[in-house]
Amino acid sequence: MKIGIIGAGIGGIATAVRMASRGYEVSVFEANSYPGGKLSEFSINGYRFDAGPSLFTMPQYVEELFDVAGVNMNGHFQYERLDVVCNYFWEDGKRLSAFADKHKFAATIEENLSVEKGKVLELLASSQKKYELTGRIFLEKSLHRLSTWLDIKVLKAIFHLPQLDIFSSMNEVNQKILQHPKLVQLFNRYATYNGSNPYKAPGLLNIIPHFEYEFGAYFPRAGMYSITKSLYELAKEKGVKFHFNTKVEEIIVEKNKAIGIKVNDETRYFDKIVSNMDVFNAYRKLLPEQKHPHKILKQQKSTSALIFYWGIKKIFPELDLHNILFSDNYKKEFEDLENGIIYSDPTVYINITSKYNTYDAPQDCENWFTMINVPFNAGQDWDTMIAVARKSIIEKINRILKIDIESLIECEAILDPRTIESKTQSHLGSLYGTSSSNRMAAFFRHANFSDQISNLYFCGGSVHPGGGIPLCLLSAKIVDEVMHN
């Protein structure tokens, strides 16, 4: 069987590994000159940066791909578990290290915020319960097939619907259990993992903390890009053919059946087609004459990101791999995001991989991946917005760390929604496709297959189960299952 895959993002590569491991002839077509999509890397002036995702959780899904391929992962990909998930900073001087050990984390909360540790453990137990009831079903199975809904585990989850907090927001659930505003803010932050608003997103998304405090947060020893690199090399080892700088122009459909793709005005024929392209652009650009799922394509997009990659000529002992400098008005920050603007004092995330891999920065220096959440691209005056945001970020860092950070920046690169869209074909520069702020958003994502065109499948962050590395890897698993069952 011949499989054609459009896009060498992490979902496309994972699909290629699974298809090739079945003995199929697999070809991947990528418009860029490199694999990985958002999960790429670059270097400037001796500093190496992971361009996109910076958090690594649920490594079992990477391990599973090596198992499927029958290849020993040792020597291909290595990672280590973090003792501290994230360091948190507030404007009033309060600081907190979130330890990966949930009991140590809860004890630290009690000591620093005077919140009984039992409250934290209660929330994490609730997060675990949500995962046990829904996680493996809704994340690893298609929600668009009857067989999923006839599964006894799904019926059990529906029976426990009140415990899933679908009809309460994340913020409401966190307020009820935790009460302390700083701790509520800390757990509300998990909505940003899929570009959502915690004041609107369903409480079911409180499943996310379980991924960090049960499965753990990790650091790939050669950086996040090593996830892409190792899976790309694995795919090639299994015989996958990659075609870079090769833009797919059209998916060829005859009698409601995908039969090939058009590349450089030439038709290449395949038995099955898998699109790792943003589903909006896949329909608009590659399937212009076919019936489009307009209701799905018109859904609200997730937030995007503005990232400053800074080479910093100083070491900051108080910072770790992941660091958050919180806004004083989190609700207003999300209201502004929904209104298409950037809050005047946004929450700042700083990722520093040189804390764990000293080769990522020159001696006595650090590589700062400095990010804020921003709205998707709706034609705003981004040049002005970026300049204002940069000033706000620097002022915030200076206040909290008591430093003149700008004097320490010796090189800079910037990624914004416009360049995210142009480099990765993500519609409007959104990071996670459809927003998950709607209570039923999980059910409204596009399926991993077409119900109108046979032999056409979809993977990646714009379709079920969603954005982020683990979910993109799972989208490949679902495509494999749907295609063969």
Q: What is the pLDDT of residue 404?
A: 98
- The count of other CB atoms within 10 Å of the CB of residue 380 is 17
Q: Where are the domains of the chain?
A: 2-39+224-298+438-484, 118-213
Q: What is the DSSP string of 394-436?
A: HHHHHHHHTS-GGGGEEEEEEE-HHHHHHHH--GGG-SSSB-S
Instruction: Give residue 416's identity as a one-letter amino acid code.
Output: D
pLDDT at residue 442 is higher than 60: no
Q: What is the pLDDT of residues 267-287, one digit of tens each?
A: 999 999 999 999 999 999 999
**96 DSSP β-pair partners:** 88
Return the closest-CA partner of residue 346 out of 310, 367, 370, 368: 370
| Sheet of 257-263, strands arranged across | 248-254, 257-263, 266-269
Q: What is the pLDDT of residue 54?
A: 95
**Region 62-88: what's the mean pLDDT?**
96
**Region 171-176: what's the mean pLDDT?**
96
**Region 62-79: what's the mean pLDDT?**
96
pLDDT at residue 215 is higher than 80: yes
| Range 2-39+224-298+438-484: architecture per CATH | 3-Layer(bba) Sandwich (3.50)
**Token digits of residue 16:** 């290629």
Q: What is the pLDDT of residues 7-60, one digit of tens each?
A: 999 999 999 999 999 999 999 999 999 999 999 999 999 999 999 999 999 999
Instruction: Give the strand pairing for 304-312 and 366-374.
Output: antiparallel
The pLDDT > 70 percentage for the chain reads 93
Q: Do the Cβ atoms of 183 and 42 come closer than 8 Å?
A: no
Return the closest-CA partner of residue 252 out of 233, 239, 268: 268
> Angle CA(434)–CA(459)–CA(16) in degrees, nearest 5?
155
**Region 195-205: what's the mean pLDDT?**
91
Q: Residue 138 — very low, low, confident or very high, per pLDDT cuts 50/70/90?
A: confident
Cα–Cα distance measured from residue 141 to residue 387, given in angstroms and rounded to the nearest whole number: 43
Q: Do the Cβ atoms of 276 and 283 come closer than 8 Å?
A: no
What is the chain's mean pLDDT, rounded?
Answer: 93
Q: Do the Cβ atoms of 10 and 235 come closer than 8 Å?
A: no
Q: Which residue has the higher pLDDT, 223 or 142?
A: 223
Q: What is the pLDDT of residues 76-121, one digit of tens each?
A: 999 999 999 999 999 999 999 999 999 999 999 999 999 999 999 9
Instruction: Provide the 8-state DSSP code for 200.
Output: T
- The count of other CB atoms within 10 Å of the CB of residue 29 is 23
pLDDT at residue 63 is higher than 90: yes
For residue 175, the surrounding DSSP H or E stretch is: helix 170-178
